[in-house]
Every structure is written in C-alpha cells, then in structure tokens.
Amino acid sequence: MKIFIDGKFYRDRAAKISVFDHGLLYGDGIFEGIRAYNGRVFKLKEHIDRLFASAKAILLKLPMTHAELMRATVETCRRNKIRDGYVRLVVTRGIGSLGLNPKGCKRPSVIIIADRIQLYPPEFYQRGLDIITVPTLRNLHGALNPAIKSLNYLNNILAKIEANNGGCEEAVMLNAEGYVAEGTGDNLFIVRNGALATPPPSAGALYGITRQTVIELAQQAGLGVSEPNLTRYDLFNADECFLTGTGAEIVPVVKIDGRVIGSGRPGAITRRLEEDYRALTKISGEPI
C-alpha cells in the first residue's frame, strides 16, 4: 500500500507522523471518507467542498488547493490500483508543541489512504439492522458543531460503545432537546406514507454526502422529502427506516429499541433507493 503524506508517497510501514502532531495530541484536524466504484471516485468534488467547509469552521488553512486535493486523491487510488475501495483523506493542524495553543503549528499535514472497506456484513443489508437509542447525546452546536467532520470522534465512539454493549451494531443518537440527530456514523431516514423524512442539520445531523444523494434520488423518483425534527415516537411508527453513509451506503433498519419497524423487513422504498444508488455509483465519479 502507498500512502500520500504531504506531497510524497510512502509504503504503509514507512508512513509516519510526528508524535507532536496536534491531530494526534488533540484531535485537531478534519477528514473525509470517500468511496471509489468501478474505477471512479464517487462525489469527490462534494467531499472536497465539505473538507474546505470544515477547515474554515476550525480556522485551518489547507496547504493544497481544491484541484490539488482532487488530483492527489485520484493519484493515491491509481497507485494502489483501487477500482472499488475507500479513501480516507485527513488534514491535521500539523506539528506543534505539547501545549494546547495551535499557534505553534506552522503547517497542516495532508494524509490520503486508499484501501478497501466493508462496514457491515452482507446479511445486514439483506435482513436489516436492529439498533438502539443510546444515552450519549450528540454534541451541542455551541460546543463542537456536528457539521464539522473533525478528527475528534469521541462523542460518536462513546455512542458506538453503548450500542455494542447493547448487542447492536449501530445506535440512534439524540440531541439535548430529545430530537433524533443521527447514528454514530450515519445519517438516518424514515419512510412514512410513501415519503421520506430525515433529521435536519440543525438537530445535529451531519451534512452527509450520501444523505444528499439519497434526497436527490428520492426527488427524482417523485417521492416527497422533508427535514422535520423527529422523536423516537416517529421512528417507532415509521413504515421503513434506513441509514446512509459513505461507508455504509444504504442499510435498512428493521427494529429500534425493541420496536419492529413496518413489516420487520427492509421496505420497498428502501430497496428501490438502494438500487438507484448502486446504479449511480457505477457511472458517476472522477476517473482513476
């Protein structure tokens, strides 16, 4: 495997960062998870757009242009002979001191890893997930805005631990007001009376690239889409439910907190959106 670090490629065992990097010491940085399908990098521009938005939010000046980051991502896939895989693009604040102040970090560091990923076993896509609501709340906007895709994912990891302790692969995270925010690493949708609903970013949901793609596919199919505040009651009484994310793609949910969702099997609208999404990934993206 060849890994891109600050303009150069290194073998995986030789790919290293400093122990003084603020990304390691404090989670001070941002990232994107990107997919490649059929020899193309899917939604690359949108991912780099979001990376720049996250960087602006934390006052991090990216050391490469938008076009340079796109080219470096594609080149990393090319050098690793990736046709279908996963790309992790990381930007850290860079090397500083043991102190918290980021002023000592002179230059951010860019790391790109291209490999393969399978987030959930195939049977979960076939029969659907059983998930639970966890006690850990989604970060407050005034503390660490969930829209920032930062390296500090401890909030999500704690929720994932609680899901695992409850015997589940995934969880529902609520915000401080009790509304549904998202999963530990995925956006959440429900289907009710033939229309889709998904929590708004103001509730603590990430501006998901897959989330937006699903919204567009649903609208093209003539389905209504809304972004209301949702409660657990709304989830329990949905006809269908599914999660979306770059790694997860679209994965059905068939039980939440012991309540069977709809028929207890992945629904027809979920299946249609899965098919439309897969069809789009086969023909769309930056050629590797």
Active site residues: 149
Cα separation values, 51 from 45, 159, 166, 194, Å = 10, 24, 33, 34
Closest CA to 112 of 148, 143, 73: 73
Contact, 204 vs 183, CB < 8 A?
A: no
The CA distances from residue 163 to 8, 74, 156, 205, in Å, are 39, 35, 10, 18
